[in-house]
């Protein structure tokens, strides 16, 4: 990096604490989830957010988009939602001068910087799959024509862990495309008290735009340049390979798991560890980055067997044992 570049990047990185402070004006607590969403954005991936109703998942995503000066669209996934309702559709229009009729592509809500796919497991696989190309290729193909999506582009999908009647669980191939699987817990007693005080009055918090989309793109570029030692890359590789019953030496993995994480998990762990370093105003990855992010990166990439289910073992339990 040139000196000029370094100064510019340092200025950008210094804005990240200000961004978190701005988000905290509206969202009380949930710091870990906010950090993980920002890590996903810096790493250029997408995340799956799971939590019971009423934990401000939608408000959290909307607040982040406002503080980032990025376009935001929300899609409520329902059983009758069609792929065209997400990506867009062609409409027949008429040229008023010539009288000729032509088809024009009307862009759907996927054409935004941040897209909230609310309750993604409420819609059938055909509609869930409409997100696949967008998540992987950052473009939409309709009637043989490619339409580029705006950059930066982040899909945050939510799902409710309690009510599973009438839901369509995400297939493993689509789960693997989510960089992080973030679990939201209940707030602490102090945080909940603060929520009650701050949300039942007449005051409304005005948010400042802390960063532009160009600045986020620059930080995504910086994230890939963050230093990670050979030793830590080897460690990441060992962690990922330890989740696979066929190649692990851990007896509990063979006992509880049907299959483990693929190579995409290793790539995600390297990139997200770099992004966490940037978020914490560092230019080098530490072991704690890997240990913290192993959970949201691996928990949706490990398949447990019936024995684990019967014993009440979760994927987080398996990851804990591997990290030991």
Cβ(218)–Cβ(15) below 8 Å: no
CA atoms of 294 and 275, how far apart (whole Å): 14
pTM over 0.85: yes
Cβ(49)–Cβ(59) below 8 Å: no
Q: Which pLDDT score, from 0 to 100, does residue 3 have?
A: 43
Q: Which pLDDT score, from 0 to 100, does residue 2 have?
A: 46
Question: Mean pLDDT over residues 22-49, rounded?
Answer: 88
Digit-coded pLDDT (tens) for 241-260: 999 988 888 888 888 888 88
Higher pLDDT, 312 or 195: 312
Q: Which tokens sit at 22?
A: 């701005």
Digit-coded pLDDT (tens) for 110-169: 999 999 988 888 888 888 888 877 888 888 888 788 888 898 999 999 887 776 666 777
Cβ(155)–Cβ(147) below 8 Å: no
Could you tell me which residues come within 8 angstroms of residue 178 by beta carbon, excluding any fewer than 6 positions away? Answer: 45, 46, 47, 48, 157, 300
| 160: nearest Cα among 55, 286, 36, 276 | 55
Question: Mean pLDDT over residues 62-79, rounded?
Answer: 88
182 has pLDDT over 70: yes
Question: Mean pLDDT over residues 204-211, rounded?
Answer: 79
Would you list the DSSP string of 31-53?
HHHHHHHHHHHHHT--EEEE--T
Q: Which pLDDT score, from 0 to 100, does residue 179 have?
A: 92
Q: Which tokens sit at 61?
A: 């995503």
Digit-coded pLDDT (tens) for 97-107: 787 888 888 88
| 7: nearest Cα among 174, 254, 259, 222 | 222
220 has pLDDT over 60: yes
203 has pLDDT over 70: no
CA 307 to each of CA 90, 244, 257, 318: distance values in angstroms, whole numbers, following the listed order: 50, 16, 9, 13
Task: Report the mean per-residue pLDDT for the chain.
Answer: 86
User: Phi and psi dihedrals of 45, rounded to 5?
Assistant: -120, -165
């Amino acid at each position: 990096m040139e000196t000029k570049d370094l100064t510019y990047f340092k200025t950008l990185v210094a804005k990240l604490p200000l961004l978190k402070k701005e988000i905290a004006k509206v969202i009380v607590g949930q710091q870990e989830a906010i950090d993980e969403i920002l890590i996903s954005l810096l790493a250029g991936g997408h995340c799956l957010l799971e939590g019971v109703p009423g934990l401000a998942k939608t408000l959290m995503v909307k607040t982040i988009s406002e503080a980032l000066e990025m376009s935001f669209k929300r899609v409520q996934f329902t059983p009758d939602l069609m792929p065209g309702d997400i990506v867009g559709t062609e409409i027949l229009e008429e040229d008023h001068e010539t009288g000729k009729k032509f088809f024009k592509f009307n862009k759907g809500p996927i054409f935004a910087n941040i897209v909230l796919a609310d309750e993604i497991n409420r819609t059938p696989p055909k509609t869930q799959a409409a997100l696949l190309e967008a998540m992987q290729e950052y473009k939409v193909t309709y009637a043989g024509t490619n339409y580029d999506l705006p950059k930066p582009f982040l899909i945050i999908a939510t799902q409710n862990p309690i009510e599973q009647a009438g839901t369509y669980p995400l297939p493993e191939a689509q789960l693997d495309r989510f960089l992080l699987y973030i679990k939201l817990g209940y707030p602490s007693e102090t945080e909940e008290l603060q929520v009650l005080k701050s949300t039942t009055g007449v005051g409304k918090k005005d948010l400042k735009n802390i960063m532009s989309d160009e600045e986020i793109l620059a930080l995504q570029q910086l994230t890939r340049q963050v230093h990670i030692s050979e030793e830590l890359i080897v460690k990441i590789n060992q962690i990922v390979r330890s989740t696979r019953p066929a190649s692990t030496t851990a007896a509990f993995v063979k006992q509880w798991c049907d299959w483990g994480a693929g190579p995409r998990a290793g790539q995600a762990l390297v990139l997200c560890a770099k992004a966490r370093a940037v978020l914490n105003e560092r230019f080098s990855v530490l072991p704690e980055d890997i240990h913290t992010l192993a959970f949201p990166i691996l928990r949706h990439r490990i398949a447990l067997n019936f024995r684990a289910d019967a014993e009440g073992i979760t994927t987080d339990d398996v990851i804990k044992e591997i990290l030991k």
